[in-house]
Structure 1
Amino acid sequence: MDGDCNCHKPKPGLLLKAAEEHSLDLTKTVVIGDVGSDMLAAEVVGAKKILVLTGWGNRH
Structure 2
Amino acid sequence: MDRADAAALRAAITALPARCRYHGDNTEPSESLIHREACCDTGIPAQRRKHAEAILARLAGEVRV
Q: Same fold (TM over 0.5)?
A: no
**Which structure has the larger Rg over C-alpha atoms?**
2
Q: Compare relative contact order (CA 8 Å, sep 6+) and give the higher one, 1 or 2.
A: 2
